């Protein structure tokens, strides 16, 4: 009885937690709901997936592939797609949801960045979120490699070459991750364990920490929605819970609809992975296109410094991602240095009130956007009727010009907007600090 | 504000359920399954029940919650005190360093082992070249100007051992950095694993004597030791030393002289 009463009190107390009503606070929740759907579909997929690189001959329901030599992993994915009731549906829902998941994290992070939500006391939570993004992207890469079809094999090959290009430890990292030299029969088994066990555990741990900190530190909010010393919004129970339920239902509905109606990754069309098969030039999922784009258009730096060789994928495969995520991670600390503002902030800022930050963010986003587009430069060249070499050169120029140009434009637009409409000042602190 | 905002959410719930229903319908068209029908029906009913229950408890309007005094980090209070915090931070850094050092040792040895593995393939002196059906290749199987992919006999699964075998036109040979003495009856064999990122170098243009990688169009000159002449690769495709055995089959006279495939920092040149 006592326990019941105590639980009741705890639930009542937790139910009073306030969640801001602004729509942009749902972006993170979209990621959370996607994560739930990924777990639900992933568990069912795991029942049917055979994480083995062992060779076998296909005799399933898909006739064009009869008698073809393939790995047990690929065979099990074909079986999942053609023999298991609703197996294809679940696989497609899982894949679509993964794309939405990473997308939601990115858009959520964009909101956090442009409104300055990462400032004290939330710097640690910002870093946790960033780690979640990196970890999720890695898991997407591993998941795509699991079917062991020709397309995923090509992706894994690129991943292997990038892993090899890590300074000094490259051969070790690549060997441990890929189960020896590529292509290795061990690979799908290792990828599988990391994809369904190691990284999900990490995601759950980091996500729980992320939530715990949000809970303890309370939400930020826009100055138009409330003062600095209290959060204004709806209580967890019941209003916010309804929102989340609505989100869960409608997202499940949309994603199941997508899985049912929109084809994604038709592995049976690619055929099994074969080391000698000429590979079709095909891109990775959208969140890794910036790496692929870099591999395509960045000049392949090749240095030989005495006994040391700097492999050509190093710049696009290691330096660019490290630069992107390193800059993001360092940003809150750099900004503190630049502005001298080390105070605690619970109120968000409008992008227009911080032209410097806004310009930097826009420049960074356009840099990534250009690289992402460049991942399709042969296709774009075909559409425009321009040959691939010209496209490469054009993309190099755009990569340098676009971020600078758009950054300046963003700065001016922000400044003009802010002039026309000064910041609402709820904290009694001016916003005229240099930036 | 409460009213309209709530109605908005109810609309989403309703729309979501409509889409669930259409998704279920699509599912039934594509995948006949009695279990699927039952599951879709049950979840639809459950969703409706949930919405009904929640609807009965209309939520109140905007509320507020006080924040803890600004400056409070929300971490357990042990960390709030500067002196303790420094201690904790120091401890964390020290622990991370120890853990890092502990991880470095096995990783380092894995690196050494990995490098050793990267240096060798399954080619040995006397290994026959076989085609993709495991049939040994004779020195007169290929027409001059033709090419094929070959593996070491018994190691068709060693993807890093695969070579492009080309029979050059009669009066042709290779020049440096290619090794003309490694030709056998006009055949030259180069590693098929691209030195850029490891794609199979699958396109051979007999007229220009060029090998082209389909992935990023690295182009290698067959008559000059498969030196890259265009594109992102910077290293020649390693050449496999060839000979002909007593029965007229093509054999290797050893492994590649250097590691095949994409580069790594400690790769011997
Ligand atoms: S892998 Fe051959 S050109 Fe990139």
Considering the domain boundaries, does residue A388 fall inside one? Answer: no
In chain B, whose CA is at the least distance from the CA of A175?
B114
Same domain for B58 and B143, yes or no, is no
Q: What are phi and psi of B154, to 5 degrees?
A: 85, 0
Full residue range of the structural domain in which residue B248 is found: 119-252
Considering the domain boundaries, does residue A240 fall inside one? Answer: yes
Q: Provide the Cα torsion A140, A142, A146, A150; round to 10°.
A: 90
Tokens of A163: 């892993």
CA A320 to chain B, closest CA, distance in angstroms equals 17
- Among the ranges A407-416, B109-118, B144-153, which has the highest mean pLDDT value? A407-416
Beta strands B227-230; B219-221: pairing state: antiparallel
Residue nearest to atom 1 of ligand 1 (CA): B197
Distance in angstroms between the alpha carbons of the first and the last residue of chain B = 71
- With tokens 């068209």, the residue in question is B29
From chain B, the residues in CB contact with A245 under 8 A are: 13, 50-51, 54
- Locate the ligand 1 atom nearest the alpha carbon of residue B197 and give its number: 1
Considering the domain boundaries, does residue B225 fall inside one? Answer: yes
Same domain for B153 and B232, yes or no, is yes
Would you state the pLDDT for residue B1? 39
Same domain for B70 and B162, yes or no, is no
Residue A32's CB: how many other CB atoms inside 10 A? 19
| Confidence bin at B220 (pLDDT 50/70/90) | very high
* pLDDT higher than 60, residue B80: no
Considering the domain boundaries, does residue A287 fall inside one? Answer: yes
The number of folded domains in chain B is 2
The DSSP 8-state label assigned to residue A307 in this structure reads: T
The DSSP 8-state label assigned to residue B248 in this structure reads: S
- Residue A296 Cα to ligand 1 midpoint, Å, equals 10
Same domain for B90 and B157, yes or no, is no
Q: Is B27 in the pocket of ligand 1 (CB under 6 A)?
A: no
Would you state the pLDDT for residue B18? 66
Q: Is B216 in the pocket of ligand 1 (CB under 6 A)?
A: yes
Same domain for B160 and B92, yes or no, is no
Q: Provide the Cα torsion A287, A292, A297, A302; round to 10°.
A: 130
Q: Which of A175, A231, A278 sits opposite B114 (nearest CB)?
A: A175
* pLDDT higher than 70, residue B41: no
Considering the domain boundaries, does residue B264 fall inside one? Answer: no
Same domain for B104 and B11, yes or no, is yes
Does A165 or B13 have the greater pLDDT score? A165
Would you state the pLDDT for residue A244? 87
| pLDDT, average across residues A64-83 | 94
Question: Which of A33-47, A183-197, B14-28 shows the lowest mean pLDDT across its residues?
Answer: B14-28
Same domain for B127 and B195, yes or no, is yes
CA B199 to chain A, closest CA, distance in angstroms equals 7
Would you state the pLDDT for residue A408? 97
* pLDDT higher than 80, residue A83: yes
**CATH number of the domain where residue A285 is located:** 1.20.810.10
**DSSP string covering B209-235, please?**
TEEE-TTT--EEEGGGTTEEEESS--S
Considering the domain boundaries, does residue B257 fall inside one? Answer: no
**For A356, how many CA atoms within 13 A lie in the half-sphere containing its CB?**
11
As separate numbers, helices (DSSP H) first and strands (DSSP E) second, chain A gives: 17, 6
Q: Provide the Cα torsion A82, A87, A91, A93; round to 10°.
A: 130
In chain B, whose CA is at the least distance from the CA of A159?
B197
| Domain closes at, from B58, B85, B109 | B109
Does A200 or B5 have the greater pLDDT score? A200
Same domain for B93 and B136, yes or no, is no
Same domain for B125 and B245, yes or no, is yes
From chain B, the residues in CB contact with A241 under 8 A are: 54
| Pocket residue to mutate for ligand 1, from B160, B191, B199, B203, most atoms within 8 A of Cβ | B199
| pLDDT, average across residues A117-139 | 96
- With tokens 């006592």, the residue in question is A2
Considering the domain boundaries, does residue B64 fall inside one? Answer: yes
pLDDT digits 0-9 by tens, B81-137: 667 778 888 888 999 999 988 888 888 887 777 777 787 888 999 899 999 888 999
Q: Which of B31, B47, B265 sits opposite A170 (nearest CB)?
A: B265
Q: Cβ distance B121 to B260 under 8 Å?
A: yes
- Locate the ligand 1 atom nearest the alpha carbon of residue A157 and give its number: 1
| pLDDT, average across residues A333-342 | 94
- With tokens 């910041």, the residue in question is A423
Same domain for B30 and B153, yes or no, is no
Would you state the pLDDT for residue B35? 53
| Pocket residue to mutate for ligand 1, from B233, B237, B260, most atoms within 8 A of Cβ | B233
| Domain closes at, from B52, B79, B109 | B109
Considering the domain boundaries, does residue B131 fall inside one? Answer: yes
In chain B, whose CA is at the least distance from the CA of A225?
B62
Mean pLDDT of chain A: 90
- Locate the ligand 1 atom nearest the alpha carbon of residue B198 and give its number: 1
**CATH number of the domain where residue B207 is located:** 2.102.10.10
From chain B, the residues in CB contact with A244 under 8 A are: none
* pLDDT higher than 50, residue A427: no
Would you state the pLDDT for residue A240? 86
Full residue range of the structural domain in which residue A136 is found: 14-300+307-314
Q: Is B260 in the pocket of ligand 1 (CB under 6 A)?
A: no
Q: What are phi and psi of A255, to 5 degrees?
A: -70, -35
- Locate the ligand 1 atom nearest the alpha carbon of residue B201 and give its number: 2
CA-nearest of B247, B63, B47, B1 to A251 is B47
In chain B, whose CA is at the least distance from the CA of A274?
B159
Residue B218 CA, chain-centre distance (Å), reads 18
Same domain for B128 and B241, yes or no, is yes
Q: Cβ distance B11 to A246 under 8 Å?
A: no
Considering the domain boundaries, does residue B57 fall inside one? Answer: yes
The DSSP 8-state label assigned to residue A300 in this structure reads: -
Same domain for B99 and B132, yes or no, is no
| pLDDT, average across residues A270-292 | 83
- Give the three-class secondary structure for B104: helix
In chain B, whose CA is at the least distance from the CA of A13?
B65
Q: Cβ distance A299 to A312 under 8 Å?
A: no
Q: Is B137 in the pocket of ligand 1 (CB under 6 A)?
A: no
Would you state the pLDDT for residue B122? 86
Query: What does the alpha-carbon distance between residue A103 and residue A113 come to, in Å, rounded to a whole number?
Result: 15
Q: Is B203 in the pocket of ligand 1 (CB under 6 A)?
A: no
User: Inter-chain contact B16–A249, Cβ cutoff 8 Å?
Assistant: yes
Considering the domain boundaries, does residue B258 fall inside one? Answer: no
* pLDDT higher than 90, residue A259: no
Query: What does the alpha-carbon distance between residue A88 and residue A85 come to, in Å, rounded to a whole number?
Result: 8
Would you state the pLDDT for residue B206? 82
């Amino acid at each position: 009885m006592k326990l019941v009463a105590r639980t009741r009190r705890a639930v009542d107390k937790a139910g009073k937690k306030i969640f801001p009503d602004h729509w942009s606070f749902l972006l993170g929740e979209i990621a959370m709901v996607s994560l739930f759907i990924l777990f639900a579909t992933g568990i069912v997929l795991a029942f049917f997936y055979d994480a083995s690189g062992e060779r076998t001959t296909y005799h399933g329901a898909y006739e064009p592939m009869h008698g073809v030599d393939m790995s047990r992993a690929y065979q099990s994915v074909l079986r999942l797609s053609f023999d298991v009731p609703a197996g294809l549906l679940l696989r497609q829902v899982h894949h679509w949801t993964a794309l939405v998941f990473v997308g939601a994290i990115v858009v959520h992070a964009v909101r956090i960045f442009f409104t300055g939500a990462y400032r004290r006391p939330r710097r640690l939570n910002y870093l946790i979120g960033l780690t979640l993004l990196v970890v999720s992207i890695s898991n997407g890469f591993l998941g795509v490699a699991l079917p062991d079809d020709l397309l995923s094999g090509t992706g894994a090959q690129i991943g292997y070459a990038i892993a090899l290009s890590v300074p000094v430890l490259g051969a070790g990292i690549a060997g441990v991750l890929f189960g020896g030299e590529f292509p290795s029969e061990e690979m799908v088994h290792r990828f599988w364990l990391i994809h369904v066990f190691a990284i999900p555990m990490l995601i759950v741990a980091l996500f729980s920490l992320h939530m715990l900190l949000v809970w303890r530190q309370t939400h930020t909010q826009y100055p138009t929605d409330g003062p600095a010393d209290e959060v204004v919004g709806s209580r967890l129970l019941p209003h916010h819970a309804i929102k989340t339920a609505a989100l869960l239902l409608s997202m499940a509905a949309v994603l199941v609809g997508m899985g049912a109606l929109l084809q994604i990754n038709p592995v049976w069309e690619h055929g099994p992975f074969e080391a000698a098969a000429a590979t079709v030039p095909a891109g990775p999922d959208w969140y890794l296109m910036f790496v692929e784009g870099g591999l395509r258009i960045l000049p392949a730096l090749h240095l030989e410094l005495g006994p040391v060789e700097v492999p050509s994928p190093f710049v696009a495969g290691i330096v660019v991602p490290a630069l992107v995520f390193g800059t993001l991670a360092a940003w809150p600390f750099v900004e503190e240095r630049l502005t001298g503002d080390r105070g605690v902030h619970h109120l968000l800022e409008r992008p227009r009130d911080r032209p410097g930050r806004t310009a930097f963010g826009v420049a960074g986003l356009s840099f990534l956007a250009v690289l992402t587009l460049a991942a399709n430069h042969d296709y774009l060249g075909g559409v425009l009727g321009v040959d691939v070499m010209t496209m490469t050169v054009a993309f190099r120029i755009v990569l340098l010009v676009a971020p600078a140009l758009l950054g300046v434009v963003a700065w001016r637009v922000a400044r003009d907007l802010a002039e026309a409409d000064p910041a609402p000042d709820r904290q009694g602190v001016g916003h005229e600090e240099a930036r | 504000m409460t009213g309209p905002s709530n109605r908005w959410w109810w609309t989403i719930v309703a729309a979501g359920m409509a889409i669930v229903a259409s998704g279920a319908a699509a599912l039934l068209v594509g995948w006949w399954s009695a279990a699927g029908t039952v599951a879709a029906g049950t979840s639809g009913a459950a969703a409706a029940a949930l919405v009904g229950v929640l609807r009965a408890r209309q939520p109140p309007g905007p509320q507020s919650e006080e924040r803890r005094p600004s400056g409070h980090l929300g971490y357990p209070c042990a960390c709030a005190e500067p002196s303790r915090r420094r201690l904790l931070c120091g401890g964390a850094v020290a622990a991370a360093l120890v853990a890092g050092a502990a991880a470095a040792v096995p990783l380092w040895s894995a690196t050494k082992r990995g490098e050793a593995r990267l240096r060798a393939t399954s080619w040995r002196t006397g290994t026959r070249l076989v085609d993709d059906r495991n049939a040994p290749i004779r020195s007169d199987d290929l027409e001059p100007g033709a090419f094929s992919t070959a593996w070491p006999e018994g190691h068709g699964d060693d993807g890093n051992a695969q070579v492009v075998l080309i029979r050059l036109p009669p009066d042709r040979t290779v020049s440096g950095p290619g090794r003309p003495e490694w030709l056998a009856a006009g055949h030259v064999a180069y590693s098929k694993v691209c030195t850029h990122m490891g794609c199979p170098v699958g396109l051979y243009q007999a007229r220009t004597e060029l090998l082209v990688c389909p992935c990023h169009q690295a182009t290698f000159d067959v008559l000059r030791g498969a030196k890259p002449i265009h594109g992102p690769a910077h290293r020649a495709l390693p050449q496999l030393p060839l000979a002909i055995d007593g029965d007229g089959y093509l054999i290797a006279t050893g492994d590649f002289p250097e590691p095949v495939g994409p580069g790594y920092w400690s790769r011997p040149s």
